[in-house]
Amino acid sequence: MNIAEIITIGDELLIGQTVDTNSAWIGMQLSMRGIRVNRITSISDRREEIITALDEALGRVPLVLVTGGLGPTSDDVTKQTLAEYFGSSLVIDREVLAEVTERLARRNLEMNENNRRQALVPDNCVVLANRAGTAPGMLFEKEGRIIISMPGVPSEMKYIMQEHVLPLVAARAGGRTIIHRNIMTYGTFEAKLAERLQVFEAELPATVKLAYLPAYGVIKLRLTGTGDDGVAVHRTVEEQVRKLYSVIPDVIYGEDEVTLEEVAGKLLLDNNLTVSTAESCTGGRIASLITSVPGSSSWFRGSVVAYDNIIKTGVLGVDPAVISRFGAVSEETARAMAEGVRRLTATDYAIAVTGIAGPTGGTPEKPVGTVWIAIASPAGIIAEKHRFADDRAINISRSAYTALNLLRKQIINR
């Protein structure tokens, strides 16, 4: 059972009201356990579509994971269709009913008809308890093939996967090893990176594959090794990872799914350092990224979002003459903002960003996308000018990550 498919059910996926994040999560979990996902299919919540998709998937692979269509509301037909497909009838499951009752009681709610329907399950399935919600998962076996149906709410699907499905599939998976390693890079772009890695790619052993996965300025390099000898696969992939570090040391900031805010946070924590931010065009995004990391109160003191120049002068203490002479988007203002917030918060490091996010506010000399980033530290202040894009969302995001990357480099090279 080394190959599986995923079926996600819901009109909302087809008309684009909801992005299917469940498939990616399931795909990653399965692939980390050596199970290859052959295909992901999204279909509407209509009986005929569900039956056709199940038939097709079961014709290709021995394991099919289904999400969606089990919610408490009446747009969901999956459960009835599954009961029909496996020739069973719906019965009340006492345990699920007790669980639903208890969950509602904790929230001081009465049981309604929608809740009660959630306790109905096909009589020939294995019920997979869902302590993250009210709709249980269901496992069916048919001619040696396994179909597992889960709710579409991500937290509930994840609970059922982690508690029930992943232990099961890991136990049934055979000997073939697939290893993924992700090397995270920032500060370059795909074609440039591909050029730098041309020789590396040409010299890759046949059992190792390289993929480029760009997203928001970060380019993930994924090395995938495959083989029957687990130890050998591990060793081969590890050699290639080390080689990557020697070819492009300047752009690698970490491994696996690590983010720049996590890497910067760990560096600050390990070195017992603190940071603050003074943000104009990023509007608090950098502070929000830093504090998304658990434990960040150990290295983060606070920020001043100085959108209006009054805050730059009044709170951060930037000299009004600096702003009127050089402009709010200038090296001088960025430096003064960094200095100001570092003093105000008494931190070791301070990040300051000032720029023109757009869509308006650009001039011929300072077009939309012009951003100054400064880092103040005990060693002094450094500043960099960047020109990002014409798009507001991209400018905010690139400014924030570029600032975090600059902080990271400053700490490493201090």
Report 49-108 residues binding a second copy (CB under 8 A).
49, 53, 71-75
Q: Which is nearer to a second copy, 16 or 378 (CB)?
A: 16
Burial class (CB in 10 A: 0-12, 13-18, 19+), 372: buried
Give me the least distance between CB of 320 and a second copy, in Å please. Answer: 16
Burial class (CB in 10 A: 0-12, 13-18, 19+), 112: exposed
Q: Which stretch binds a second copy (CB under 8 A): 78-86, 241-249, 292-300, 403-411?
A: 292-300
Cis bond before residue 359 (omega within 30° of 0): yes
Q: Which stretch binds a second copy (CB under 8 A): 34-42, 231-239, 329-337, 371-379?
A: 34-42
Is beta strand 275-279 parallel, antiparallel or unpaired with respect to 36-43? unpaired
Task: Please tell me the number of Cα atoms within 13 Å of 116 on its side-chain side.
Answer: 4
DSSP code string of 105-168:
HHTT----HHHHHTTEEETTSEEE--TTSSSPEEEEEETTEEEEEE-SSHHHHHHHIIIIIHHH
Give me the least distance between CB of 275 and a second copy, in Å please. Answer: 11
Q: Which is nearer to a second copy, 230 or 361 (CB)?
A: 361
Q: Which of 47, 234, 266, 301 binds a second copy (CB under 8 A)?
A: 301
Using CB under 8 A as the binding rule, the residues of this chain from 340 to 399 that contact a second copy are 344-346, 357-361, 392-393, 396
- The answer to whether 29 contacts a second copy (rule: CB under 8 A) is yes
Q: Which stretch binds a second copy (CB under 8 A): 21-29, 88-96, 141-149, 362-370?
A: 21-29
As a dihedral over the C-alpha atoms of residue 333, residue 338, residue 344, residue 348, rounded to 10 degrees, the angle is: -160
Using CB under 8 A as the binding rule, the residues of this chain from 214 to 273 that contact a second copy are 214-215, 220, 222, 224
Q: Which of 2, 9, 37, 339 binds a second copy (CB under 8 A)?
A: 37
Give me the least distance between CB of 284 and a second copy, in Å please. Answer: 3
Going along 309-379, which residue ranges are E strands?
A: 349-355, 370-377
Positive/negative CA dihedral, 245, 247, 249, 251: negative
Q: Which is nearer to a second copy, 191 or 231 (CB)?
A: 191
Give me the least distance between CB of 88 and a second copy, in Å please. Answer: 25
Q: Site size for a second copy, by CB under 8 A? A: 101
Using CB under 8 A as the binding rule, the residues of this chain from 106 to 125 that contact a second copy are 109, 112-115
Structure tokens at 306: 């100085």
Q: Which is nearer to a second copy, 271 or 292 (CB)?
A: 292
For residue 224, give the H/E element and its range.
Answer: strand 218-227
With b meaning 16 or more CB within 10 Å and e meaning fewer, what string describes 197-217?
beebeeebeeebebeeeeeeb
385 DSSP β-pair partners: 372
- The answer to whether 200 contacts a second copy (rule: CB under 8 A) is no
Question: What residue has token string 């905010």?
Answer: 396
Q: Which stretch binds a second copy (CB under 8 A): 119-127, 137-145, 247-255, 301-309?
A: 301-309
Rg (CA), the chain: 26
Is beta strand 275-279 parallel, antiparallel or unpaired with respect to 349-355? parallel
Give me the least distance between CB of 116 and a second copy, in Å please. Answer: 11
Give me the least distance between CB of 196 and a second copy, in Å please. Answer: 10
Contact 143, 55 (CB under 8 A): no
Q: Which stretch binds a second copy (CB under 8 A): 227-235, 288-296, 331-339, 377-385?
A: 288-296
**Which residue, among 360, 357, 354, has the nearest Cα to 394 in the 3D structure?**
357
Q: Which of 27, 230, 317, 362 binds a second copy (CB under 8 A)?
A: 27
Print the binding letters for residues 127-166 with a second copy: x by CB under 8 A, - otherwise. -------x------------------x-------------
Give me the least distance between CB of 75 and a second copy, in Å please. Answer: 5
- The answer to whether 39 contacts a second copy (rule: CB under 8 A) is yes
Contact 71, 114 (CB under 8 A): no
Mapped onto helix, strand or coil, the DSSP state of residue 180 is strand
